[in-house]
Amino acid sequence: MKDAGEKGYDEMMKGLYDMAAEATVNAYAPFSGFCVGAALLAGSGKVYTGVNVENSSYGATICAERTAFVKAISEGEREFAAIAIAAKTGAGEIAESLPCGICRQFMFEFSPDIYVITGTDREALDVRKLSQLLPLGFALEHPTGGRQGGTL
């Protein structure tokens, strides 16, 4: 991730946010009406989008952030730089959406210092490191050293 002073940083954040906002149209949210989109920038430079997918069995619902991560991980990605999150209400109004606790922990497994981009307007984005949102995230140690996918 580039420093805030580097050229292109603001446009990259805005572009990710725009992709997240565009993804909200594909959300499946018949119960809450709260449509969330995410755009995840992998270390490779590729962007993976995701949406929330609700289910009649509420526990089976998956958030947009985890959808994007699962898509990226299933394609072999393991390093991540930033994720943008956008949301719309059932009335189509833009809403602020921070990652839920499960998503924060899920993302922490792969990238404790990923930048999380949120907001209600591409011109006034809030950018924080995940470690600020989840300062003491849980991680198992992999037997070969380092944090790896939670395998013992």
The residues annotated with a catalytic role in the active site are: 65
Cα radius of gyration rounded to whole Å, the chain: 15
Looking only at the bridges linking them, the beta strands covering 35-42 and 115-118 are: unpaired
In 68-134, at which residue ranges do the beta strands (DSSP E only) sit? 80-88, 94-95, 115-118, 126-129
Q: CB pairs under 8 A, 24+ apart, for 58-62?
A: 58/31
Q: Which amino acid is at 36?
A: V
